[in-house]
Amino acid sequence: MGKFVVREAKDGFKFDLKANNGEIIASSQVYTTLAACQNGVDSVKTVSAAEVEDQTVEGFEELKNPKFELYTDKAGEYRFRLKARNGEIVAVSEGYTTKANCLNGIESVKKNAPEAEVVKE
């Protein structure tokens, strides 16, 4: 089972969702308070079963929030962002060289986030 690692950042707090092997699956924005960061963790746990909107295909179907948005960045890498019900981005991925690996990252969030423990570093 994965874990959410909450840590202090330069201007507040942020979290990383890590897989069993310690690899970061997704990261948060910087929150101004620890409580707001915990709310972000709770939101990821709640919406992690969301559907995937594949923005890499032409004429993709736009889904309602919550959702994972799969897209390509300016460098041509595949990434995902998880949006909460209110449309706010609650977690983002690293860049992946293949779409399949990015989809595996999304599946890892779906598998690990709901029951992940929260630890503070």
Mean pLDDT of 22-39: 96
| Number of independent structural domains in the chain | 1
Query: Which of 23, 31, 30 is CA-nearest to residue 2?
Result: 23
Q: What is the pLDDT of residues 40-99, one digit of tens each?
A: 999 999 999 999 999 999 999 999 999 999 999 999 999 999 999 999 999 999 999 999
Unique residue bearing structure tokens 């709310």: 39
Per-residue confidence band for 12, with pLDDT thresholds at 50, 70 and 90: very high
Per the structure, the complete domain to which residue 66 belongs is given by 3-120
pLDDT over threshold 90, residue 110? yes
Identify the pLDDT of residue 114: 96
Query: What is the spatial order of strands in the sheet that 3-9 belongs to?
Result: 51-54, 67-72, 78-83, 89-92, 24-27, 12-18, 3-9, 117-120
Mean pLDDT of 89-118: 97
| CATH number of the domain residue 67 falls in | 2.30.29.80
pLDDT over threshold 90, residue 1? no
Query: Average pLDDT over the chain, rounded to whole?
Result: 96
Please give the model's pTM, rounded to 2 decimal places.
Answer: 0.94
